[in-house]
Structure formats: structure tokens, C-alpha cells
Structure 1
Amino acid sequence: MDEKPPARGGPGFCSLRCGLALVMHLSNLALITQRVGLSIAIVAMVNGTRRPAAPNATVGADAHGDPGGSAQELRPGTSVYEWSPETQGLIFSSINYGIILTLIPSGYLAGIVGAKRVLGAGLLISSLLTLFTPLAADLGVTLVVVIRTAQGMAQGMAWTGQFTIWAKWAPPLERSRLTSIAGSGAAFGTFIILCVGGLISQALGWPFIFYIFGSVGCGCCVLWFTVIYDDPVRHPCISVREKEHIVASLAQQPTSPRRSVPIKAMVRCLPLWAIFTGFFSHFWLCTIVVTYLPTYISSVLHVNLRDVSSLPTGHRIGSRPDGNWFLAARHHRPCRPRPRGALGLLLPSLCAVALPFAAPSYAMTLTLLILIPGTSNLCDSGFIINTLDVAPRYASFLMGVSRGFGLVAGIMSATATGFLISQDSVSGWRNVFFLSAAVNVFGLAFYLTFGQAEIQDWAKERTLTRL
């Protein structure tokens, strides 16, 4: 009798848990478009070639005299702001500050009040703040930074709460598939916003980037609070067969006694630091590519806003800074992931070093910009899932710590990029990519020196024997 529920309630696209994955897919899509939308909008929000008289001034599209041609394509009446590159870097990095602040508290809160409320509230708050962003920009850059930080806190709640949802809804043998469906929403959302963001800005004005995707998030909130429940046992619409299948599958998974996390042993573990360093290096460069891609294309290649949106067609969107969080649930056997992880750091570094020299060639620049995130995909089967080899018992905790290192790298790289390009556009971008390559090479050397794929002694299960 114990085996019948799993046999009857096997995976299927008509199951409620698959519907939950699709709803979460849409929610992740909304979250990432709200985050990346600013990278597209800021090309129209800030015109670095003009000389306006006052900050936060609302001007017509034909008043800038932009030789690059991007300003003439702006909708009349849209605001253009005097934000220096340092200010832009601060705005870009502020959302990561918010995510870090809620990375740990949101997981604890989800266990108390329920993941449905935490994730839904995070999505709703982020969507409302997105709708308010154009008004905040008119009121001043300080308010924009505050809005983006608060939005990061809301998104941190939404990202973290998903782990608790799947702990009660996903049978162990289906977690990889369900979490991949849900997590791919962030990849697809990045692709969508980079494809249509420039077109929306040109046709309707850049504020509509925030209005449209903020509204999409609010719509997802209605769907979320209507369809989703924390526990399949409490869901009023779930079939008896599926409920029995999920409950029986979760009851059969092996459990071990709860033990304290060996923090001291982790701090002294060099293979763990190799993973953390790999995360830091990987996210440093990927953050720059995802965040500053439209700005770089517009300012260096002088491509108009419409053509910026056509660039990510071959872009490996899954390289977004927070898109690999669901890999912790992937089933895999221990292996030696270092060669692929090493290539995932080495090849993007070579492309980054070559970028400044390829600037005169439009085709070569686009090729390198596509290769950087494309080759970094090799990290997915390298150090990103290396925690499952080194300490499988604490993989979830260590993935959270690793993601924290990635967020810190995102903050530092966005801030450093804004500072460097403010000094001089040509040499500034060159220094940005050289610095990114240096960070990657350092992470590569550290990972090759200390990285391992064997389970550590402090992470092994120990059986007590009595004589």
C-alpha cells in the first residue's frame, strides 16, 4: 500500500504541483524583469552627451543634440537626468544591498508565517515599488536608491521563500524538474526584458518599462495568492491521488538527526573558500555584463535604443547573477568538477581582455559579449554545485553563503564600474574589463589550488557504536 500512491500520482503536466511550478515561473519572470529593467531604461534616462542646465529636468527628445542618435529617439516629455556614472553604479548595486539584508531573515520568517505569505508579499512589494520608480526618479536620486534597496529586500524575500515551498510540495525524485521549471522563469524574464525593453522605451517612453512589468508582477500576485498554498494537505483543489503521492514520497525520503552547523570547521576549510572565491569571481563579471550591457553598447558602439534590444538574441541569459540558486536541488553523483569550473572562469576572462581591442569592430564586440556569459555556463557544472560534493548535508546553507558572496561581488563590481567609467569613457571601460579578468584569474588560481570534490570529514554522517 505504501508504494501505490507514488505509482498513481506520478509526474504530469496536469498535476497541481506542476501548476505551482508554472506560477512560480511567472513570478520569477516578473521579479527579474523588474530588476533588469533599469539597465535598459537608464540608457534613455541618462544622456551622457548632452549639457543640460539642471538635474532631473524634463525635456523634449529633440533638445539634446546627441550625435549618437539615441536621444532623438526618446519620446517627447520623458525625463532625462544628470546622473554621473558613479551615481548609476550606486543605483545598480543598491538592489543587492537589499537582497543581502533579507537573505537570512526571510528564510526564518517563511518558516514562521508561511512561505506563501512571504513570497507573495515580496513579489507584491517589489511590483509596487517598480510602479513608483519613475516618480521617485523625478523626486531625486536619493529616493531612487532607497526604492531600489527596498525592492532588493522584497526580492530577497521572494527568492528565499521558494525553498520552503518546494520542501513541502516537491517529491524528491521530481525536485530537479520542478525547480528547473520555476527557476527558468528568471532566465526567460531576462531575455524578455532585454529584447523588448528598448522597443518599449522608444515607442512609449522609458517609464512604461516600469509600468508594464510592475503591472505584470501585480497580476502574478493575484494568481499567486489565489492558487498557491503552503502545504498540499490544505489545498482545497488538489486531487486525492496527487496529495497521497506527495505525502508518501516526502515520508519515504531519508532523514537525519538535526545537528548544529559546524561553523568553525567551515571557516577553516579551504575547499569551501575555493567555492566562495569562485562564486565571487564568476558573479563579478556576469553582473557587469548583465547590468551594463545596454549602457556599453549605447555609449561605446553608439547603437540606438531600438537596436540595443536586438542584441541578446544569442545571449546566454541563464548567467544572470542570481539565476543558479535552484541548482542546489539537482540530483547528481560526486564528481570532479574543477576542470569545467576552471574553464568557466578562464574563457570569460580571455574574452573580457579582448573586448577593449575589439571595440572598432561591431561584429567582434557582439561576439565577445555573447561568449562571456556563454562560456561562464561551464561554471554550472563546476564550483556552483561543488557544495553538494564537499558537504551534501549542509548544501542548502552553503549555497546561501555562496550566493551572499556573489551578491557582494555584484555590489562591488557595479560600484567599481561606475567609478572607472566616470574617469574616462574609453580607458574606463578598458580598466573595467581588465579588472574583471584579474578577479576571474585570481578566483581561477585559488579554485585550482584548493578546490576538491571529496566530502569533508566534518560533513560526513557518523554512526555511534556502543561496546
Structure 2
Amino acid sequence: MIQEEICSRDTMACCVDCPRRYFVVFLGFIGLLVSIGFRTCFALVMVHVTNHTSTERDDDSLFHNCTTSRDLQLNIEPSHVFLLHTAFYCGSLVTQIPGGILATRYSPKWVCGLSIVLSSVLFLVLPTAIQYNLPAVYVIRVLQGLVEGCSIPALNGIISAWAPKTERSRMITVAYAGAYISPAIALMTSGACSCYVSWNSIIYIYGGCGVAWSIVWMLCIHDNPKHHPRLGARERQLFCTDDVVINRPDQEEKIIPWRAILTSLPVYAIIVGAFCRNWIFSMLITQQPQYFKEVFHMTTADIGFLSAVPHVLMTVVVITGGFVVDNFIKRDIFSTTVARKLSETLGFGVEAACVMVIAFVDDKHKALVLLCVGVAFSGIAISGYQVNPLDLAPKYASVVTGLARLGMLGAVLSTVVAYFVRDIVTDPAEVPEAWKRLFIIAASIHFFGVLFYAVFASGNRQPWSGSPSTLSVSITQPVANDDKDYDETTRLLRRRLRLHRPQLVDADSYEYGSTTRFLNTI
């Protein structure tokens, strides 16, 4: 029995209680920090090398001499750079669902590790392509998107398998904080390296870090607690709370209820939320640097340093928000559904309002303050739609996550719309008006996402999420002296647990997560 495999104190158990789940979260944090950093580094590097640097000097510039002997200038239109970002997002969009299925059928550890290492190698090739063959850059960006699209669904599966119910929001939000602090670190380092080292140095740094992380990940991470040979005694006990674990028969684990998933409104609420979030996030990563360069004539180093501040604030809110929401749910202050909806509405609602106001601002300091407020508040929403797949269906969380990652279409459309809106502008005096239109469009879409999620989202476990008939019970003390009585009692208890009505089961009805085959990997 899985109960025996997890709870037995075998000789391979580590004598020192070391919380392995924290190491999983830490590596997940670093992995997202590096992989999301690829996008930010590339965006700022392309802003730096496009041959349309403003001749105006920003009197408030923090960094004045922003050139090196190893600089590069490309004679391409800034609007065409948006298409390079579109190429990446198109590739990523294609592999979101296949990535979740691969992680479900095979090992999420290997799917995630191989995804990042391949993307890192492609990233290391980019500087050569940028210098000598621009069409090759489009090909590399598409390939990067294709391989990297598998990483998030697989990572979600790993973290879910290691997340006890009472720690689910905080573990997800801490791990995903790597994605949100990533732009801040990448912006600062990219700006400094581009201005004072060389235009391509940051690409080699991040590419090398990605390869190193992938090796550590694939060597040190296990798909779930059951497979870890050195799980500490205290942590082992945490995963064996009340001697109840989740176990699935071989036939059930191979079945994915596609029809039920694809007709579930709470799933579509997550997808819409992800779509709107990706629209804004893409704007912040790939378009915001160009906005500050074209509208306020800031240097690359200034852009990198000042644009990083909102992302630092958001990361703090993402982490603290996860703990706060967990406590609200744990103390029954809010139901899971109310907590998720409130997080989404407050977080993304404030961000949408700030983005709308930025459209009418003509001062860079006011624009930066509004970005800081809006982006910081958006961190609260991560405890809403980002964690929601674990509430709806822990067993199929990576499949739902893969579907939610179709929200990447928002990033694709965001860059495409930016290209067309910006490309039609030929008069420099009309550039601020083009950016105003882009911010209004983004804010309006974000408001729609908030409303849709508030109406249709749910925090309850769905009827199609898997049968609790898979529960098994281990009784550590005999209930009677007679072995026959003991065996009969155990048999009746197990039979009773199998009699259930799935539609009555919600997310909080029993412990799950530590040994779920999220991606059917146990």
C-alpha cells in the first residue's frame, strides 16, 4: 500500500528533519526567476540595440554614459521588435496543453527540467543570430516558446504534489514569486550590463544560469514525497496526517475527463483571468521599456533601474498575500471561493484602474508611481486565479493549469496590437497618443477579466475532479483483540469510504495534495 510506503520508517529515511518541500519551492522560485528573466532580458536588450535612440538628454537621468566599445545598433523599426516577442508567445501558446499532458503521463520533473535547459541553450545562441541573421531570431524565439511552454504546467504539478492543504497558497505564491521578482532583477542587470559591459553579456549570464539550474533540478528534485528516499520524520508525518493519503487505481489515473473540464465555467474563469493577466504582464515586460524610451527619452540603464521597482513591490505582496489568504481560509473568515474572488477583484481591479490613469499621464514620475501601486496590488490576485486549479481538481491540476496557460494568447495579442498601433505612427509627435491607446485597451480588457472571474469562479472541488473512492485508511492500533473482528472492521471502514457522492465533495472535505498524481506521475 502507498500508506505503508510513505509512512513506514525505512532505513533510507533521513535522521535529521529537513523540510524537503521548502527546497522544492526554493528551486521552483529560482527556475521561474531565470526563465521569465529570458523574456525581460531580451526585451531590454532589443530596446538598447535598435537604431532609434532619442537624441534628447534626460536631465533627470541616473546614468549618463550608456555606451560601451562593444555596443550594437540594428537598423530596424521599434514596432518590429514587438513581433519578435509575438513569435515567442505563439510558440509558448502551442505547448501549454501538451506540456500539461506530458507532465501528467510522465515525470513533471523531467518535463520541467528539459524544457528550461533547451530554452537556455537557445537563448545562448541568440546574440549570434541578432548580429548576423535577423530571420533566425524569429525561428529561435518560436523554438524557445515551444520548449518553454511545457515548464509552468509541469512545475505546478511538482509543487502541488509537495503542498499540504494548509500550505497550498503560500507554497504556490512563494514559488511563483520568482516569476514576479524576475523582471525586476532582469531589468536592473540588463540595463547595467548593456550600458557598461556589452550589449550581449546579460544573455550569456542568464543562459548559463538556466543550464546550471536545470542540472540541479533534474538531479535533486523528486516528483512527489513518496519517491523521496530521505524525507525527514516530521515532514513524513505531515504527509501522513490522520493516516489518510490519496491513492488511485491504475485505470482511473489514465483517464482525463476532458468533456467535463472543457464545459466547466470555473475553469473558463481561470482561463479568462490568465488571458487578461498575460495581456498586462506582456505589456510590463516587453512594451514598458519601449514606452519609457519613446515617451520620456530615458536611457537603458534608467529604464532598467526604475522599471524594476514595481516588480519588487509586487513580489512582496505576492508572498504576503499567499500567507494572508491561507489564514483567512484556515480560520473560516472566508470560504475558499470568496477568498479567491476577493483576491482577484482587489488585485487586478486596482491594477486596471492604475493602467487606465497612466494613459492620461504625461509625467514620468507620476507614471512610475501609478505603476508601483497597480503592479504591487496585482500581487494579491496571484492567490486567486493562480492557485485556483488546485482547488478545482488537485488530481488534474496540471491539465487545468495547461488550459489556463492558454491565457498566453493574451500576451500574443498584446504584442500584435502593440505592433499595429505603434507601426502606423510615423510622426514622433504622435507617439505618446499611440501609447495612450495601448494603455486604454489593456485596462479595459483587465476590467472585463475581473468581472468575469468575480461571477463565474469557484473555490470548491468540482464533481469531475476525481473520485474520493480512492481514499485508503490505515489503522495503526487494532480495534479488537480478535483478528477476525479487526479485519472485518477495517474492511467495513474501507467500504464505507468508497460510498460517496462526488458532487458533495468540496476542496476542503479532506486532505489532498501531498501524494496526488497531479500529473499522474506516481
> Counterpart of 1:335?
337
1:32 corresponds in structure 2 to 36
Residues 1:436 and 2:429 aligned together = no
How far 1:38 moved relative to its partner?
A: 1.1
When residues 177 and 392 of structure 1 are mapped into structure 2, their CA distance, relative to the original with a 3 A threshold, is closer
More displaced stretch, 378-387 vs 286-295: 378-387
CA distance in 1, matches of 2:163, 2:405: 23
1:376 aligned to 358, 378, 381, which one?
378
Whether the 8 Å CA contact 2:181–2:314 is kept in 1: the answer is no
The residue aligned with 1:128 is 121
Counterpart of 2:508 in structure 1 is: none
1:164 is displaced (CA, Å) by 4.4
Q: Is the CA contact 1:172–1:253 (under 8 Å) kept in the aligned structure 2?
A: no
Aligned to 2:245: 253
Change in CA separation of 1:454 and 1:312 when aligned onto 2, cut-off 3 Å: same
Q: Which residue of 2 aligns with 1:89?
A: 82
State whether residues 46 and 82 of structure 1, in contact with CA within 8 Å, keep that contact through their aligned partners in structure 2: yes
Q: 1:101 to 1:12 in 2, by over 3 A?
A: farther
For 2:344, give the aligned amino acid: G
Distance 2:215 2:257 in 1: 41
Residue type of the partner of 2:204?
Answer: Y
Tell me, what secondary structure is at the counterpart of 1:335? helix
Deviation at 1:276, TM superposition (A): 2.7
Q: Is 1:73 equivalent to 2:66 in the alignment?
A: yes
Say if 2:92 and 2:147, in contact at 8 Å, map to a contact too.
yes
Distance 1:299 1:169, change over 3 A: same
Match of 1:42 among 31, 43, 46: 46
1:118 and 1:161 in contact (8 A); partners too:
yes
Q: Please tell me whether the aligned partners of residues 103 and 111 of structure 2 are also in contact (alpha carbons under 8 angstroms).
A: yes
Looking at structure 2, the residues matched to 281 and 11 of structure 1 have their Cα atoms a distance apart, in angstroms, of 47
Considering only aligned residues, what root-mean-square deviation do their CA atoms show, in Å?
A: 4.0
Q: Does 1:290 align with 2:285?
A: yes
* Post-superposition CA distance 1:302-326 (Å, at most 9, x none): 1112222221453145869xx99xx
In the TM superposition, residue 435 of structure 1 has moved relative to its aligned partner by 1.0
Residues 122-168 of structure 1, C-alpha deviation per residue, up to 9 Å, x if partnerless? Answer: 22212211111111111232211211121122222333332444466
1:234-266 CA-to-partner distances (Å, cap 9, x unmatched) read 767x36747965885698323567385554445
The DSSP-based 3-state class of the residue aligned with 2:84 is helix
Greater shift in the superposed pair: 414-423 or 266-275: 266-275
How big is the shift at 1:274?
3.6
Counterpart of 2:436 in structure 1: which amino acid? Answer: R
- 2-side partners of 1:370 and 1:465: how far apart? 49
Residue 393 of structure 1, CA deviation: 6.3
Query: What's 2:302 paired with?
Result: 307
Taking a change above 3 Å as real, the CA distance of residues 233 and 375 of structure 1, as seen in their structure-2 partners, is closer
Deviation at 1:373, TM superposition (A): 1.5
- CA change 1:123–1:382 in 2 (3 A) is closer
Between 1:79-88 and 1:13-22, the stretch displaced more is 13-22
Question: CA shift at 1:378, angstroms?
Answer: 3.7
Map of 1:364 onto structure 2 = 366
2:33–2:182: 8 Å Cα contact kept in structure 1? yes
User: Counterpart of 1:357 in 2: which secondary structure?
Assistant: coil
> 1:128 and 1:461, CA in 2 relative to 1: closer, same or farther beyond 3 A?
closer
Alignment of 1:39-438 (within 5 A): 39-49=43-53, 66-68=55-57, 73-110=66-103, 114-166=107-159, 178-230=171-223, 238=230, 241=233, 245=237, 248=240, 252-255=244-247, 258=252, 260-317=255-312, 332=329, 333-336=335-338, 337-359=340-362, 361-387=363-389, 394-405=396-407, 407-424=408-425, 425-438=431-444
Q: Choose 1 or 2 for highest CA Rg.
A: 2
Q: Check the 8 A contact 1:172/1:249 in 2, yes or no.
A: no
Q: TM-score, normalised by structure 2?
A: 0.72
Deviation sequence 1:350-397 (CA, Å, 0-9, x none): 2222213212x2221111122222232342344444555666665543
Greater mean deviation of Cα atoms: 31-40 or 74-83 = 74-83
1:207 deviates by 0.4
Change (3 A) 1:115 1:292: same
Measured at CA, do residues 281 and 256 of structure 1 come closer, stay the same or move farther in structure 2, by a change above 3 Å? same
Structure 1: stretches of 5+ with no match in the other structure: 51-65
Which fold has the larger relative contact order, with Cα–Cα distance below 8 Å and residues 6 or more apart in sequence?
Answer: 2
Could you tell me whether the CA contact under 8 Å between 1:30 and 1:216 is conserved in 2? yes
Contact 2:266 2:457 in 1 (8 A): yes
Query: Which shows bigger deviation, 105-114 or 194-203?
Result: 105-114
Q: Residue 345 of structure 1 contacts residue 444 of structure 1 at CA under 8 Å; is this kept in 2? A: yes
The question of 1:18 aligning with 2:22 is answered: yes
Deviating more after overlay: 141-150 vs 274-283? 274-283
Q: C-alpha distance in 1, partners of 2:466/2:106?
A: 33
Alignment deviations for residues 397-443 of structure 1 (CA, whole Å, 9 cap, x no partner): 333212212x0101110111122122222221011011112212333
SS of 1:351 mapped into structure 2: helix
